[in-house]
Amino acid sequence: MTDYTYTYFRVSKSEDLITSAHRYKDLRLRALKLSPSSFASTYDLESTLPDEYWISRLTKNGRETFICAAAPTVNPNQAEPEWVAQVTFLGPQSIEDFTLPLESGQPEPLSDEVEERWQMLALFTQSTHRGRGIAKALTRKALDYLVSYRNEPKNVSIRLMVKPGMMAVVKFYLQLGFNEVGSSSLAEALIANGDRELLPNDYLLQEKYTTRNSHLMIKQISRDE
């Protein structure tokens, strides 16, 4: 029996924005500090950003954030539930934003009438709450929202990139129904994740950014299911 009760929800873009921004910032900075290799950004960079940035991150059009909050089973009303896991989705994305070079192996996107497209990023669970199925439950909750918030188009494609060599992470996403379809470069991953500003001006001349070695994964869902 767990000593916490977990709830999963989409972060509102209109209610309690300051509180939500502070909680999101705290969780994000813990993620960057404890798992720096999992993110393209850094703790040093994001720890200096003002409240306005974090509010914008939660309320920006084309960006949806989902949270797992933990409340202790003993005296649960004596403290606010703690935000312990997060995941973000960017979309719906245009065909142009979703398209990658042919050599990536990614299938060519379908038309807007047939397919809706999202980029998944920033999945993180606080270390003290790992091993309890939170990441899978949170991802499924988020995917359910993306499928159910409207009826058309009938097909939804979810894409993500996993850093090279992180086979345990690849296995995790395979268990969630993602398929590995090819490979991407670090530059492509940064751009797809909305972090183009992290690229240096000469990134096309740097092998670090152009080598195609990240795992490219896609999950396709039908709204008819």
Give the domain ranges of the chain. Answer: 4-222
Q: By the 8 A CB rule, do 70 and 3 touch? A: no
Residue whose entry in the numeric block shows the structure tokens 């690229």? 199
CATH 3.40.630.30 is held by the domain 4-222: yes
At 64, list the tokens. Answer: 């949806």
Q: What is the pTM of this model?
A: 0.91
Instruction: pLDDT tens for the chain, 225 residues: list them.
Output: 468 999 999 999 999 999 999 999 999 998 898 888 777 778 888 899 899 999 999 999 999 999 999 998 877 566 788 999 999 999 999 999 999 999 999 999 999 999 999 999 989 999 999 999 999 999 999 999 999 999 999 999 999 999 998 999 999 999 999 999 999 999 999 999 988 888 999 999 999 999 999 999 999 999 987
Longest alpha-carbon distance in the chain: 57
Going along 26-128, which residue ranges are E strands? 63-72, 82-90, 115-125
* Angle made by CA atoms 209, 214, 219, in degrees to the nearest 5: 130
Residue type, 74: V
CA dist 33 and 107 (Å) reads 35
